[in-house]
Structure formats: structure tokens, C-alpha cells
């Protein structure tokens, strides 16, 4: 049995297990299983790999996308540039290769969504400074969009939420706002980033990496103002398929 899975601290609600289980069934992919592996700390990773028979690949989620880096024997260029890993390929010799499919999923999803209007987006606010935000930042920069990172503290961010509240013009001038925080995820659906939403207009685009619920409180604020809003489901599908491509490439030694 070829084993794949997801590591994280709390994995109660997982897109990945459901997606891959259905994929294996629909595409008649035999002898493959995808499971959830909750680990209390990233230091438990080597033991997990050693004790899980047939483990060939894992996805990485909160809070380990950054912490997993020291365990990698090799990093793909995307992961190296971003500084975060969400896909690990386990080679037959036990070496670990780190990749980032969040970049691929977000970039392709965003380009498709913005379409011809992409040229109108000059600056984007990226909410949160975790592992996923790093992939989002690099994707936006590669699309020639200036990025302003937002966090509760000034460390590793261009603005704090307090600064934006005091200078709402910042939000007004950034036509794309991307939420990379887990705020608003089921069951805490009422939560949303602390922004002066009254500055949102019908010229704004609000992209939320959260996919459950389908319309988050963050998205609702934008929709009320006539803005366009999108959740992270398509990004998740695209990154999942990229993960599978990476894991399958190991058979032939190809670079995914």
C-alpha cells in the first residue's frame, strides 16, 4: 500500500483527506491511501516517517510549513524562494525533498479569476505572515503586483491592523486584499480580519484562502460593497493536484 498524508497540529477539518480519497476512487488509483497525521511538534516527523509503512509523500499544514525546512535534504526552487514547504516527497533512500504547491495553486487561481482586470491591480494587501502568506507574496511579486504584508505586530510586516485602521486610505488604495489567516474558518465563522471595511468599493477584489464556509465573513464584507470575492477552494484543488504530480514524478526521477 502506497501511503500519503497530511501533517499538522490539529487536523479536525481536512480538505486533503477527502479530496485524495475521492480522487483515488474516481480515477481507480489502486493501492493508495491518504491519512491525517497529527503531530504535537515538528520534531516528531522523523519518527512518523520511520513508523509509517509505505509512506511516499506528505502535505504540510499549519503550523509546520516553515518549521519543516530543517528536515529537508533538498529544496525545490519554489520552496527555496518562498521559504516554506507544503509538499514533501520521500525518496527510496529516505531523503526528503521539499516543494511548495501553494504558490502554484494561488497564482493560477488568481490569474484565472482576475482575467483582463489583472492589469488594474498595482498593489495588494496580504493579511497574515504565516507559511501560506509567503507563497502568496512570491506569486504576487511574480505577477508584478506590489505586496504590503499586514500583521498584528510590526515584525515581518509592512503594516499592522492598527495602522490601517488609523490610515484607511491604505485599504482604499490596495485593490486586491488576500486573507491568508485562518480567521473565519468553520466553526468560527463570525471571525474576520480587523479592517476598515467601509473603505471597500466595487473596484476591490477580496481573495480568502479559507474555503469553509464557502462565503466567509471577510468575503461578505466585500460583497456588501459590490466588490468581487473568491474563496480558497480552487487554490486547494490546484495545489493538491500539483502535490500528486510531484509525488508521482518520483517514480521516474523527473523534476516536478
Active site residues: 65
Q: How many Å apart are CA 103 and CA 174, to the nearest integer?
A: 21
The upper half-sphere exposure of residue 170, i.e. CA atoms within 13 Å in the direction of its Cβ, equals: 21
Question: Is the CB of residue 225 less than 8 Å from the CB of residue 1?
Answer: no
Question: Is the CB of residue 223 less than 8 Å from the CB of residue 201?
Answer: no
Residues in a beta bridge with 124: 147, 176
Question: Is the CB of residue 125 less than 8 Å from the CB of residue 177?
Answer: yes
Cβ-based burial of 152 (10 A; exposed 0-12, middle 13-18, buried ≥19): middle
The helix/strand/coil state of 254 is coil
Amino acid at each position: 500500500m502506497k501511503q500519503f498524508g497530511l501533517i499538522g497540529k490539529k487536523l479536525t477539518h481536512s480538505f486533503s483527506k477527502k479530496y485524495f480519497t475521492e480522487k483515488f476512487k474516481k480515477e481507480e488509483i489502486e493501492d493508495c491511501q491518504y491519512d491525517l497525521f497529527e503531530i504535537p511538534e515538528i520534531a516528531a516527523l522523523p519518527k512518523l516517517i520511520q513508523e509509517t509503512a509505505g509512506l511516499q509523500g506528505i502535505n504540510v499544514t499549519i503550523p509546520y510549513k516553515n518549521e519543516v525546512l530543517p528536515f529537508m535534504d533538498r529544496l525545490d526552487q519554489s520552496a527555496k524562494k518562498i521559504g516554506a514547504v507544503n509538499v514533501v516527497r520521500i525518496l527510496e533512500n529516505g531523503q526528503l525533498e521539499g516543494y511548495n504547491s501553494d504558490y502554484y495553486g494561488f497564482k493560477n487561481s488568481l490569474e484565472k479569476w482576475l482575467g483582463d482586470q489583472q492589469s488594474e491591480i498595482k498593489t495588494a494587501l496580504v493579511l497574515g505572515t504565516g507559511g501560506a502568506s509567503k507563497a502568496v507574496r512570491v506569486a504576487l511579486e511574480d505577477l508584478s503586483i506590489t505586496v504590503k504584508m499586514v500583521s498584528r505586530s510590526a515584525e515581518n510586516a509592512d503594516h499592522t491592523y492598527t495602522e490601517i485602521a488609523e490610515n484607511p486610505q491604505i485599504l482604499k488604495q490596495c485593490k486586491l486584499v488576500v486573507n491568508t489567516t485562518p480567521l473565519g474558518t468553520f466553526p468560527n465563522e463570525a471571525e474576520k480580519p480587523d479592517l476598515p471595511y467601509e473603505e471597500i468599493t466595487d473596484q476591490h477584489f477580496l481573495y480568502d484562502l479559507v474555503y469553509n464556509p464557502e462565503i466567509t465573513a471577510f468575503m461578505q464584507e466585500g460583497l456588501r460593497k459590490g466588490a468581487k470575492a473568491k474563496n480558497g477552494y480552487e487554490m486547494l484543488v490546484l495545489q493538491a493536484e500539483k502535490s500528486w504530480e510531484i509525488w508521482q514524478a518520483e517514480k521516474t526521477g523527473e523534476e516536478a
